[in-house]
Structure formats: structure tokens, C-alpha cells
Structure 1
Amino acid sequence: MASKTVHHHLSSEAYRRRCIYLTGFLYVWVFLSLGCASKTPEKKPNIIYILADQWRASATGYAGDPNVRTPHLDQLARASINFENAVSVIPVCTPYRASLMTGRYPTSTGMFLNDLHLPLSEYGLGDVLADRGYTTAYIGKWHLDGQGRHAYIPPDRRRGFAYWKAAECDHDYNQSHYYTGNSPEKQFWEGYDVYAQTADAQEYIAGQLENDKPFALFLSYGTPHFPHHTAPQELQQHYPPADILLPANVPESMAEQVKKEAQGYYAHCEALDQSIGELLAYLDGLGIRDETLLVFTSDHGEMLGAHGVRPKAKQVPLAESARIPLLLHYPLLHGKTGRRVQTPITTPDIFPTLFGLLDLPIPESYEGDDLSEILTENSEREGHAVLYMQLAPWGVAGPYGREYRAVKTAQYTYVRSLDGPWLLFDDQKDPLQLNNLIEEPAYGAIVSQLDEQLWALLGKRGDAFHPAQWYLDRWQLKPGDHGSIPYDKEGTVPPQSPRLRKDAS
């Protein structure tokens, strides 16, 4: 009996061990299966960044402009997150683009004038996106190479953008050029370049459908930047100068000149709206719109005579120049309905916010704020202020042609010049900024609070707000009479001009 008992005991022990082994095997199998799944994350959304040039925030139907026809953007705004207090960090072409591409402020990179070369030491956005698994593409205006507006930009200076049909800068919209591939041979867009670039963007998107990687496409239009009279004639007919309604901050003495420019400006805007509508319809036809994160914005605005500043001007701290449209359309986040966001945002914040939203690593070099929680949590960041500036003023005569540092909050615009507090506007009560409150005793506490916020933001950037010459000397820059780095009439750089800066410091 004893031997049978022992034999029975051993059989039970073997059975128990077998059960433990099988259970352990199942746990390991489940763990490895989950581990493998975690190493294969779902595909990130495609990104399409639509960048217009000199389209001010107020010049859309959804923003209340009584003249312009933008039905497609109006519809997009109703289904998007609309940042109503977005500003350009410096309302000039090259500085905005440099800040967008680096996530850094102009006081850190030295990119505060037009036609500068973005230092090769900077971590370009195309490289950033490629490092995060994206296939990259850039179509249109670049304005960051600094070797002249018609110069060939070789692949090693394209900052990580693989598909390339771009030019440094060309505003001859009916015969504008570009370069592509590894060829230095100049190519030309067929007809009005907005339409041709949109068609090329559609072709690029179609070619990415079978790609395992998501794509990031930058579609950088040159319009509605002047010259305005080159807009499609059939669209200019929609805007007879006599019918154009001007805002109250445009002096009567400038009305005729402004209306003439506005006719072409609005026609350019309408052409862009039509093209964006075609692009959205194309995404719908492919069935990928809902999984695509689409941004529509501009690099800066256009004064068009507001406050007596000449048409075609930007640079100044006023709303028509500094404030930009910014729509973020991502149905997987916000569904089919839109939302108006009051929290202000400035250029270096844009891609930290998008990366935060997509759960992508934010480069350590980025200086902008990640505001993604206001999107994911359907909230606002109360009391938030953002910084914008002009380090070396150019092209603007009169009282607004000066250095400044400014903050934008949900309610106020506050601007300081080298002489001290300069401008204060309550943008909610006075959107045309007709009433400067800077010397009103009742607003003394507001001025002090905003000035404190301004200096805190400047301190964070290490900027003591020096005169323009200090920054020109620091980066050894000698702008021409028009305020940009000089180039000749053909858009090329004189041979003796040292342009490629390898270090920003």
C-alpha cells in the first residue's frame, strides 16, 4: 500500500508541474503577443500643412469679411478647430518659416530678416518628421535657403523633405519656377501656379496610398501676396472696386488705392479657396480625409491701408499684419463639428502642439509650447500669453516702423517699443484696434500685468530687447535698402556675399 501511495503522490506532482508549465507557457505567449503588438503601433495620421502667404486672419467669410468669397474654407472652419488668436512670431516671410521649421524663436536662430539662409546646424522639420516615421514632401515657396530667389536648392539643403517641387521665392504666379529631383534645371508651373501646385499635391497623395508610412505634405502657396493684379481675371471680376467695403480703420484718403489692391488680393484668396476645396474633395474621394490631420494657415497678414499703413505692408504689430488664420482639421479628434479656441498661439508653438496631439516625441531643441491639452481636453489655457516681435524694422514709414516686442492674450494686444509701453488694444471690444488704451488710467493695472508677462517671456528666450543694430551685429548681417539680405535683379546673390551660415550663434 505504501508503494501505491508514493506512486499516486508522484503522479499528482507530475500533473501539478505539467499544469504549471502549461500555464506559464500561456502567460509567456500572451506577453510576447502583446509585446509584439506594442512594437507595431498603428499608423499615424497623414499631415497636410497648407501655408498661404500674406493672408490675414480677417480675410475670410468665416472671420466676417464682407467682401471675399471663401465658401470652402468657411465650411472647413465649421468642421475644424479654429485658433482665433493665432499670431505670426515675426510677420515677415522668412522669419515665420524659419520659426515653423525649427520650433525656435528668431532671437535664438538669428532668422529675423527676409532672404536669410537657415543655418545647417538647425534641426529642420523635414528631418524631424522623417525621424518620426513620415514620408515628407514640399511643394511651392520655400524662402529659407538664402542663396537668391532663383537659386537651385540641392537635396542636402532641403531640410529632410524627400519629394521636392519648390523654389526659394517666386511671385510671378503665371510663370513661376521650381526645381525638382537632383536637377538644377529650372522648371515652370503650367499657368496660374496655385492650380498647378494643387494638382501636383493630389498626384503626390495618390502615390502614397499604398505606402506603409504616413506622409507629411507641405503645400506652400505664394498667394495672396502681391502682385495682386496678376490674380485670375475671371475672379477679379467678382470684386469691382466700387463695391468693396473697407473697414473703418482705413483712411478715406487711401480708399481708392486700397480698393484697387483689394480687388486682386481677394481674387487670389478666392482662387486659393477653390483649390483647397478641390483638395478636400479629393481626400474625400480617396476616403482618407477623416484620418488626415490638415492645417490651413498663413505666414503673416496684409495691412491693406489699415491705420494708414500702405497696402502690401506687413511687419507691424497691428492685427491686420500679425494675426493669421489657423484651422486644424482632424475628425478623429473632434468629430464632424468644429470649435473656436481662444487660447493664443504663436509660430514656434505649432509643431510642439501637433506632436503632442499625435503623441510624437517633441525635439529638445524646440522652444514653443505644447498646447495639445487644450485640444484633447476641450479646454482653454486661462491667462496664456504668446510673444511676437520685430527685431529690425524695414519697409514701413511713420510711427509703426520701429522695433517692438508684443504679447497677445485672448483679450488684449500689448506692445512695447524701445521707448516703453506703446500700444494696448482690447481686441474683443475693439477688433479694428482704433482705441489705444496705453495711457488710460483705468487700464494701468492691465498694462503692468501684460508688461510683466512680456518680460517673463523675453527672459525665457534670453532677449533683453536691444536696438536693431545689436542683433545685426551679433549675426553679422548687413541688410539692403529694402530690409532683406541683398540679391540682384535676377534674384541671385552676388558672388562675394557669404550666405551659408553653419552656426546660428
Structure 2
Amino acid sequence: MSPAVNRNVLVFFTDQQRFDTTGVHGNPHGLTPHFDRMAREGVHVERSFTCQPVCAPSRSALQTGRWPTSTGCFRNGIPLPAGEPTLAHRFAAAGYETAYMGKWHLADDDVAGPVRPEQRGGYERWLTSNLLEFTSDAYETTLYDEHGEPHDLPGYRADALTDAAISYLREGRDRPFFLFLSYLEPHHQNSRDDYPAPHGYAERYADPWLPGDLAALDGNTRDHLAGYYGMVRRVDECLGRVRAALEELGLADDTVLLFTSDHGCHFKTRNDEYKRSCHDASIRVPTAVTGPGLRTGEPVRRLVSHLDLPPTLLDAAGLPVPPEMDGRSLLPVVRGEPDPRPDDVLVQISESQVGRALRTPRWKYAVEAPDADGWTTPAAERYVDAHLYDLDADPHELHDLVDSPAHGAVLAELRARLEERIVEAGEKRPVIEPARQ
């Protein structure tokens, strides 16, 4: 089978990037001029959410279009099953050359570097590290090719990966390509719990603007936000370089380009690390798509899950969307067609808890299984109320209304709505109880 149109597809994927690092979401530092331009000229997915705020589950969803609980990858350390169809398989079946570069994090958790062929998700070209944060540092990058051979790349890590991607784009080929370009930036360096920006970049943001949640809550924001912003700035420059290369090579008009991130970062304000919570700081990410048929300059304002992105890529390439994918293509919305779905997204939470959250335009409602272990249990039969935020009045989620008697009717409605979304995700219908019952 060949694609209906000869469209390349490139995913530019960052790690742990908050939505409000971008100018289009109000950051005043000018960190993301290239993303902002892409969002203004293409399709800005204004309210984009991960379906699981931690690395491997989010990545499994983006590779398969299926819930982490459906693939079994509900937490870090669980490899993507070898027989699970991925985007690489879908594009390869349509005659594409498939390539993955950067951080993978979908192999066995004891695999820091080379990944066995059966755990590579079906990709043909390969230059990765399973756990890039453990085989690299800011200026020390080792990636492994499809033969398992190491490649030590020079320069700042994001630049090194960008150089490799541009070299790939310059290669001659007689097939369209699907390239998944997966950066570590702006994720912290695990070995020292730090955010290493390029030399001189953190200094630019020594007095950083603070989003409302970070300004109000404790955490390690003031120790790390300058470096984090510097990393965001550099990875946006990398986006600019990739887009410039597509233009130079005459590929821009035939390439669908998606920018997104796996999850956000709350700087230890909600728990004792950086994500794994229901709050927008953890789950809301910057997302935009551009390319043929997608240079509309009109945003998508409905709530969008990561699960909607794989079918969107296939649809944009003129390929069929498999019915087993849990999300839906955004192209009908882009074309202005009515969307019958409720305007909300479900979020699964693992590791720190067994939790579920419902995000609507106005409300954030979350539940937690009080007796379940988030490392061993993918889903629970019983949850209790954990959080309720009125996002119209409290966009930074500082005032929890879960115990408010005045919001009993709202809670009841959201409980029923969350139960339905859980069932639609393939889980058993749970019992959800008030927190004090």
C-alpha cells in the first residue's frame, strides 16, 4: 500500500516541557519564537494534554494511539510489547522509511543504551538511547544505531541530535519518510537533579518570570527555572534549524510537522518530583502541527489528548486510521466539521498513585485509589475524590474545592462523567466515593 499523497511526517518531541514556556501561552521571555510562529501559521492545539504524565506511558500512547493500560505500559520500566502495532509499523506498511532518533524509553528499564531489535517499535533507521538521561549529559551524548554501535556526538546534546536529524534529512531516498525526533531537553539531568542549559543560557533568565502556580507554591523552582528556560530556548532554536533545513531541501511543502511534549513539569510543588500529578503543570503541553492542508492559522480550541495525535498524523499523510486506536484525528475539527465528542480528556496517573483525572474546559476533577500501589497496579475498582479545581476562577489550581459542600452537585456530575470515560478507555466501571466516606 502506498500513501494517497507523498507526504513526509516528522515529529519534533520534547521532554517535560510545560505549555506556558511558550509565547503563545503567555511566557514573556521570548523562549519559543519558532514554535510560536509554527502555532500561528499552522494549527495550534491550544489545550493539549498528555494521557499519562510520566515518560514511558505517554510515549507508548504516542507510538500506538492506545491507552497505556491497554498496551500494558502503564508506568516506566515496562517495555512496549513486541507485537504491539506502532506508527512505525503503520507508516512502513504504506511504503515509508521509518526512523527514530533520541530518547526511546520503551525498552526494558535496565537497558540504558542499545535496544534489542524486537523492542524498537518496528523502526527501520535507529539512532537512540533507551534512557538518554543516563547515557548522556549536557555536552556528552552517546546514541546507538540499528546495529547496536555507539556514536559519540559532539556539542550540546540538543544540537547534536539536531545535527544528526538534519544529516538524515539530507540523505537521498525514493520513499517518503516518517521521522520521530525525540529530545531530552528540557528534562532534568537525573544524575544531579539539575537543568543544564547551554553555556550562557541560564544567565539570560536569572530573574525569571514565574507562572502563578510556581510563584505561589514551594518546590525547587527558584533553583532550576533559569536553567529550564535556557534549555527550552535552545531546543526551540533546534526546531528553527529543522524547519530551515526542510525549507532548504524543498521538503517543507510535503512534510507534516508535529511539535509536542510527553508531559509537563511542576518543580516539586505537587509531590516530591516533577510530574505524576493531575495538575496542568504536569499534564498540559505545547502542541502545534503544520504542513500540507494544515497551514490554516486557526487554532483548535477543544481539549485534545495525546491519543488524538497518532490518528491525526496518519490522516494527514492520507493513510487510514486503524479502528483500534483510541483517539480520533483532528483533521475534521481543523476543517470546521462538528465534533460530537464531549469536550474533555481523561488522564491516567501511575507510580505516585493509581489515579484518574477528568479535565474539562472549566473543571479539573481527580480521584485516587487509597489502597493501591501505583507501581504494581494499572487500575483500581475503587477510587475516592482527591481534587476539584474551578479553572475559570483558579487557573493555577491553588484552591482545592473537593471538600466544599457548595460543590456537591458539581462533584456528583463529574464523578458520573469520569466513570464513563474510564469505561470508554477499556477499564471496568469503578466505584468512586466522596473522600470522607
Query: Relative to structure 1, is the Cα distance of residues 150 and 362 closer, same or farther in structure 2, using a 3 angstrom cutoff?
Result: same
- Residue matched to 2:116: 154
Question: Which deviates more, 433-442 or 43-52?
Answer: 433-442
Which consecutive residues of structure 2, in runs of 5 or more, have no partner in the other structure?
A: 370-382, 432-437
Q: Taking structure 1 as reference, are residues 303 and 41 closer, same or farther at Cα in structure 2, changes over 3 Å only?
A: closer
Residue 416 of structure 1 corresponds to which residue in structure 2? 367
Shift of 1:411: 2.9
Q: What SS does the corresponding residue of 1:407 show, helix, strand or coil? A: strand
Number of the residue aligned with 1:237: 203
Q: Distance in 1 between matches of 2:181 and 2:263?
A: 16
| CA distance in structure 2 between the aligned counterparts of 1:249 and 1:392, rounded to whole angstroms | 23
Instruction: Please identify, of 281-290 and 441-450, the stretch whose mean Cα deviation from structure 2 is larger.
Output: 441-450
Q: 1:302 aligns with which of 260, 265, 271?
A: 265
Who wins on radius of gyration, i.e. which is larger? 1
CA change 1:449–1:285 in 2 (3 A) is: same
State the shift of 1:152 in Å.
Answer: 1.9
What is the Cα-based RMSD across aligned positions, in Å?
2.5
Q: Distance in 2 between matches of 1:421 and 1:44?
A: 49
- Equivalent residues of 1:333, 1:376 under 8 A apart: no
Correspondent of 2:182 among 220, 224, 229 = 220
**Residue 383 (structure 1) aligns with:** 342
**Could you tell me how far apart the structure 2 residues matched to 1:341 and 1:69 are?**
22
Structure 2 residue 410 is the aligned partner of structure 1 residue 446: yes
Cα distance 1:384–1:280, how it changes in 2: closer, same or farther (>3 A)?
Answer: same
Larger deviation, residues 270-279 vs 282-291:
282-291
- The aligned residue for residue 293 of structure 2 is 333
Output the CA distance in 2 between the equivalents of 1:319 and 1:374. 23
Amino acid at match of 1:159: G
> What is the SS of the residue equivalent to 1:238?
helix
- Structure 1 CA distance for aligned equivalents of residues 358 and 218 of structure 2: 29
Are residues 272 and 154 of structure 1, via their aligned partners in 2, closer, same or farther at CA, if it must alter by over 3 Å?
same
* Aligned residue identity for 1:178: L
Match of 1:144 in 2: 106
Unaligned runs of 5+ in 1: 1-38, 394-401, 468-505
Contact 1:343 1:382 in 2 (8 A): no
- In 1, Cα distance between equivalents of 2:213 and 2:3: 53
Shift of 1:442: 5.2
Counterpart CA distance in 2 for 1:352 and 1:446 is 33
Q: CA deviation at 1:41?
A: 6.7
Which secondary structure state, in structure 2, belongs to the residue aligned with residue 338 of structure 1?
A: coil
Q: If each structure's helix is expressed as a fraction of its own residues, which one has the higher value?
A: 1
* Matching residue within 259, 270, 275 for 1:314: 275
Q: Quickly say closer, same or farther: Cα 1:273–1:405, change in 2 above 3 A.
A: same
Give the TM-score of the pair, scaled to structure 1.
0.76
Map residues 22-171 of structure 1 onto 2, 5 A cutoff.
43-67=5-29, 69-146=31-108, 148-171=110-133
Distance 2:351 2:132 in 1: 24
Q: Which residue of 2 aligns with 1:496?
A: none
Q: Please list the CA deviations of residues 8-38 of structure 1 after superposition, one character each: whole Å capped at 9, or x if unmatched.
A: xxxxxxxxxxxxxxxxxxxxxxxxxxxxxxx
User: What is the aligned counterpart of 1:455 among 379, 394, 419?
Assistant: 419
In the TM superposition, what are the counterparts of 1:346-385 in structure 2 within 5 Å? Answer: 346-377=305-336, 383-385=342-344
Would the aligned equivalents of 1:86 and 1:346 in 2 still touch at CA under 8 Å?
Answer: yes
Pairs aligned (count): 411
Q: TM-score, normalised by structure 2?
A: 0.87
Q: Is the 8 A contact 2:368 2:385 kept in 1?
A: yes
Identity over aligned pairs, percent: 31
Mapped partners of 1:40, 1:296: distance in 2: 25
Q: For residue 204 of structure 1, report the CA deviation from its aligned partner.
A: 1.0
Partner of 1:32: none
The structure 1 residue matched to 2:145, chosen from 180, 191, 215, is 180
CA deviation vs aligned residue, 1:271-304 (integer Å, no higher than 9, x gap): 1011111111121222321321100000001002
Question: SS of 1:201's equivalent?
Answer: helix
Q: Secondary structure at the residue paired with 2:364?
A: strand
Once residues 357 and 461 of structure 1 are traced to their aligned partners in structure 2, the CA distance between those partners, rounded to angstroms, is 24
Q: Secondary structure at the match of 1:279?
A: helix
Structure that is richer in strand per residue = 2
1:217 is displaced (CA, Å) by 0.6
